[in-house]
Amino acid sequence: MAIRERLSGNEAVAYAIKQINPDVMPAFPITPSTEIPQYVANYIANGEIDTEFIHVESEHSSMSATLGASAAGARALTATSSCGLALMWEELYVAASDRLPIVLALVNRALTGPININADHSDSMGARDSGWIQIYAESNQEVYDNFLQAYPIAEHKDVRLPVMICQDGFITSHGVENIELVEDAPVKEFVGEYEPEHYLLNKKETMAIGPYAVSNYYMETKRAQRQAMLNAKQVILDVAAKFEQMTGRKYGFFEEYRMEDAEYAVVIIGSAAGTCKAAIDQIRENTGKKVGLVKIRVFRPFPEEELAQALKNVKAVAVLDRSEMFAGTSGPLGAEVRAALFGAKADVEVVNYFYGLGGRDITITDFEEIYGKLENIAKTHKINDMYSYIGLRSK
């Protein structure tokens, strides 16, 4: 039976950690993810779990300790945000190349500078090519559900890659919502026990972690990582199907909202999808215009073919990025979507906009204007503002 509760996104992640009861959690505080290790530390102090909590002096040390624990054979995790993730940069690549099934709770926050503690995706998008699986949430319910699915994905024998579970700082991390929790016993069965095949503390096997790779071997290592990322696509779907059997909640690479007959679509990641859904309902009710949404859940591995299929019948698409890339014509999500549609030879007009940087609000009115622009682009086949910002102050 589901447990109905009111929790913030950070509380939801911490509760999932309590239910999983991992072996080791090194962590260093940084806003807005600080609450996650705080809640876990309370669970440990109260005797509710026996996770080994390691106090470290920095985020670099946090990920380093997590790497060591995972390499030794422990189920390990950590949490961070923004500049904390940036300080882990070197270790992110080590975790992926060493094929360590670590889980990272990332509470998305703008990277300095100037200093800003609010939500955008510049931290995780900067790490998009580090070799980590990346899964994003719109709501507190989704971040809880995503976290429960993280270890079965990461630890699968065909994957063995670290997983980054992302949510928007303050918007979901500190906002309280009604959610449904799974009872402890089904969670334990769903996640299962961690039984690593190769690990440093295995007395029957002598091995090294993170050796130097000369030119004759380095490329093969990267190709193996790529294959694991490709394998992860099916594993993500298989784990989601098993999760649906347990909870009734269905997940895939992305969510389609009112896309059955949509002529104009928005592609977006994260909490702003909820505002977009409200705008879609309002536009359809007031004008009858056929508008829809594709909300990306899994950004790595990127579901290129599946997304192109979902968008093939629309006339125009607006891709909304919550992270600047300073490229010529697009942001990180925009580049991926445009490449997917180009590869599929889709006859779709595509425009890329930036929104919500540093936590700036995006409103129903903003989305109404975006859909209006899409309608005009579809009619004229002209894009005059590919590189523009939604809600930018003019003065």
**Could you read off the pLDDT of 323-381 as tens digits, one per residue?**
999 998 899 999 999 999 999 999 999 999 999 999 999 999 999 999 999 999 999 99
List the alpha helices (DSSP H) in the chain.
9-20, 35-45, 59-72, 82-87, 89-97, 122-126, 140-154, 184-191, 215-247, 272-287, 304-311, 332-343, 364-380
Residue pair 191/148 in contact by the 8 Å Cβ criterion = yes
pLDDT in tens, 207-238: 888 889 999 999 999 999 999 999 999 999 99
- Own/partner pairs, 372-376, CB within 8 angstroms, 24+ separation: 373/318, 374/264, 374/265, 374/291, 374/315, 374/316, 374/317, 374/318, 374/349, 375/264, 375/289, 375/316
pLDDT in tens, 149-208: 999 999 999 999 999 999 999 999 999 999 999 999 999 999 999 999 999 999 999 888
Same fold, 3-192+210-247 and 254-389: yes
Model confidence at 274: pLDDT above 60? yes
- Provide the pLDDT for residue 202: 93
Give residue limits of the domains in the chain. 3-192+210-247, 254-389
Report the CATH architecture of 3-192+210-247: 3-Layer(aba) Sandwich (3.40)
Q: What share of the chain is helix, strand, coil (3-state, %, to 5)?
A: 45, 20, 40
> Could you give the dihedral angle defined by the CA atoms of residues 324, 328, 334 and 336, in that order, rounded to the nearest 10 degrees?
-110
What single string gives the DSSP state of each residue in 67-104? HHHHHHT--BEEEE-HHHHHHTHHHHHHHHHTT---EE
| Distance between CA atoms of residues 252 and 364, nearest Å | 26
- Quote the pTM value: 0.98
CATH no. for 254-389: 3.40.50.920
Q: Residue 27 is inside which H or E element, if any?
A: strand 24-27
